[in-house]
Structure 1
């Protein structure tokens, strides 16, 4: 698999998982990605993504009042045999929306 394709397959998931748990009162963007290629990615490749409810709540607390939060998330890409072909880190930007912060003040 082309390295750009492996990076792209991880692009939307962490920010979407965070956005889904925090709701519409937060701005959530994928801001940065890093990938470390460990071996050629051949055949079917998979990755798993998880943002626990506890971690989402901790992010919500840190972003309260409009504070900017930059949070790193990690996953691995594996081949059909379960061998790790790449390690991926994605940084997500989170901030409570201005209208929410103003309304709570």
Structure 2
């Protein structure tokens, strides 16, 4: 799916927003339906640590908001979405630009909405690999996202 003018504006917004810009990551693509996002974490002086590899905080920070944003934008406005937990497993030092793709299939959105018809809130777990251009996995980011029908139910 292609980007719309709205998702292009959001992409620009992400890339200039100070807290996201500070991660060193750059959003490269947001699907028109918000069900896919691509990011790049360049290996540069801004993301390089003392050992000359990409700083783990840059890897995590660049990935942090993506699944929650996808749910906020892809689900109807009646839901409350919050990040609840995160885990990063570093597998190989990043000595080159790294990339991640975040996907939210229709089936997952349907499952969340179905679960919320029977209960007030649900926690969902998502995983994204951070890879080099050749596909080598350098880190795996796991996020737990809380979705509810009422903000007071955040637990």
Structure 1 length normalisation: TM-score? 0.86
C-alpha deviations, 1:16-64, integer Å up to 9, x for none?
Answer: 1111121210000111110110010122110000011111111011122
Unaligned 5+ segments in structure 2 are 1-53
Q: Which residues in structure 2 correspond to 1:7-86 (within 5 Å)?
A: 7-64=60-117, 67-86=120-139
* Count of matched residue positions in the alignment of Structure 1 and Structure 2: 98
Contact kept, 8 Å, 2:120 with 2:150, in 1: the verdict is no
Superposed CA RMSD in Å reads 1.4
Structure 2 length normalisation: TM-score? 0.59
The 2-side partners of 1:18 and 1:63 are apart by 14
Q: Which runs of 4+ in 1 moved over 3 A?
A: none
1:95 aligns with 2:148: yes
Contact kept, 8 Å, 1:29 with 1:94, in 2: the verdict is yes
In the TM superposition, residue 81 of structure 1 has moved relative to its aligned partner by 2.4
**What SS does the corresponding residue of 1:39 show, helix, strand or coil?**
coil
